[in-house]
Structure 1
Amino acid sequence: MTGQKTTPTDSRDMYIVHNMLRRAFGELPALVRGVEDGSERARTVADHARLLVAILSTHHEAEDEVLWPILMERCPAELTPMVATMEEEHQQLHTLLDTVSERAEKYSVTASAGDREDLARATEAVVGPMHGHLVGEERNILPLIDRYCTDEEWASVGEHGLPQLTPTQVPLVFGMMLRVATEDQRAVLAAHIPDEVLSQMVQIAPDALNAYERTLHGFDTSERPR
């Protein structure tokens, strides 16, 4: 079946996820390099790198497993020229993310200067390709989502990764998202999340993020510019 859906969605909340990823991966190389040799923070920072890998990987899995099939059914002529590029970029990023995971695992054990630099370089290698991929999605895929997906279908894409987060990680990730969201984007997000869930997250997520970052950075980051 092709043609426009009668109740199209608003995919601008995707910018929240993308900007969260841009910020988090953009900060990661310096965060890694800021750990002292042999510090116990090495494991904490390595675990943070692996969390970001999991978030980005899950984001791509939701697109591959949930979003592409919907769009391929609704608008194959418009989507087909882009799918091969998107999937190729996903594979390239997954290869880079596997390297980050491997080096994070090693660094979490050794906390050595050499393994720290290997991890920092691996995270740097992700930033450029990820940014280019996200820009392509925003330019080419979001208009198709707005035209052909319903609110319920778009919400199912966002919900795909929730079961893979621990109860502790859910408010943390929400905190990372809310920190980068504009007021307009928050309004779009609110339209796709049950009121009781969003209100709870707005209450607890900022504190969860601040507590997490105090451990991650080794000092209180709550006064840093957002």
Structure 2
Amino acid sequence: MIAPPRHGGVRGGQAVRERTMGQEFKNHDMTMMFTIHNALRRELERIARITARVDDDPRHVLSCAVGWELFKNNLTIHHTSEDLTLWPVMQQALADRPDDLALLDAMESEHAVIDPLLVDIDAALADREGGLERLTGLTDTLNTLLRNHLLHEEREALTLMDTTLTNEQWAAFGKEQSGRHTDDIPTYLPWLLDGMNSDQLNQFLDNMPPPMRTAYESEWRIAYDDLDIWNTHSKTH
């Protein structure tokens, strides 16, 4: 089985600098972190378009879409990996720096508000009576809170990660997150790279282990496209 890419395992320094609002990271490669965040933002846009539709019941469209399950799974893995392997070791290292501890507390608190929204949305999708009325409000809230959280993390927490975490601790985070994707890497990687512009995609692929790149280009991307994760192809027939 080809192992999933880890943080630091796929390098793309220039691509990272282009997406970091002027930030420069000296110790750890943040390529995968920004790639994951951008993939989540992309899916938030797609979810918003679905819930704004009037030609179909968005509950049916969303609940039947592979994309919704992928979004939930990948967001949960990302947040869980941070909660288990980043915040605790950083809190220990920064025990005498109250302002930095407050930032870490905010990261955890934002996760604690965002993650239950996935359950609430699923409940609205299953509710035939009042679910439709709740769905738009819930997905709007998810969109706002998750976007704000990602930006907050990028603007403040990533710099703190870069200056606080040892190489071993950063690698442990990558191992935790990639380990949770071991079984779904043929779908996860194309999902991660979906919609990436050609320059960024080529740079990402150039830094990927050759067996993984070959599998992605010859099998995984095609199978992912065939999944039609938001059922968009059916609307063209």
The alignment's TM-score, normalised by the length of structure 1, stands at: 0.72
Are residues 213 and 151 of structure 1, via their aligned partners in 2, closer, same or farther at CA, if it must alter by over 3 Å? Answer: farther
Report what 1:24 is aligned to: 43
2:104 aligns with 83
1:208 maps to: 223
Counterpart position of 2:113? 92
> 1:128 corresponds to which residue?
144
Distance in 2 of aligned mates of 1:56 and 1:150: 25
- Alignment CA distance shift 1:13-1:96 (3 Å): same
Q: In structure 2, how many angstroms separate the alpha carbons of the residues matched to 1:135 and 1:81?
A: 17
Letter aligned with residue 36 of structure 1: D
Q: How far off its partner does 1:177 sit?
A: 1.5
Q: Secondary structure at the match of 1:206?
A: helix
- Corresponding residue of 1:4: none
Match of 1:224 in 2: none
CA contact (8 A) 1:16 1:181 kept: no
d(CA) in 1 for partners of 2:59 and 2:105?
43
CA displacement at 1:67 relative to structure 2 = 1.3
Which of 154, 166, 189 aligns to 2:170? It is 154
- 1:55 is displaced (CA, Å) by 1.6
Q: Deviations over 1:171-195 (max 9, x none)?
A: 222112213446468757876x654
d(CA) in 2 for partners of 1:119 and 1:92? Answer: 17
User: Gapped runs of 5+ residues in structure 2?
Assistant: 1-25
2:26 equivalent to 1:10: no
Structure 1: which 5+ residue stretches go unaligned?
Answer: 1-6, 222-226
Change in Cα spacing, 1:65 to 1:215, as seen in structure 2 (3 Å) is: closer
Change in Cα spacing, 1:41 to 1:185, as seen in structure 2 (3 Å) is closer
Shift in Å at residue 83 of structure 1?
Answer: 1.2
Q: Do residues 172 (structure 1) and 187 (structure 2) align?
A: yes
Is residue 175–residue 208 contact of structure 1 (8 Å, CA) maintained in 2?
no
Structure 1 residues 29 and 203, CA gap change in structure 2 (3 angstroms): same
Deviation at 1:54, TM superposition (A): 2.3
SS in 1 for 2:64: helix
Sequence identity (%): 23
TM-score (normalizing by structure 2) = 0.69
How much does 1:39 deviate? Answer: 9.9
What value does the CA root-mean-square deviation take over the aligned residues? 3.5
Query: CA separation in 2, counterparts of 1:38 and 1:133?
Result: 25
What is the aligned partner in structure 2 of residue 66 from structure 1?
Answer: 85
Distance in structure 1 (CA, Å) of the matches to 2:84 and 2:227:
31
- Give deviations 1:98-134, integer Å, cap 9, x for gaps: 2123223x16xx5x8x645543432222001111100
Kept in 2: contact 1:8–1:147 (CA 8 A): yes
Distance 1:135 1:38, change over 3 A: closer
Between structures 1 and 2, the one with greater helix share? 1
CA contact (8 A) 2:51 2:58 kept: no
The one-letter amino acid of 1:89's match is: E
Counting matched residue pairs gives: 207
The 8 Å contact of residues 50 and 101 in structure 1, kept in 2 or not, is answered as: no
- Answer yes or no: is 1:44 the counterpart of 2:64: yes
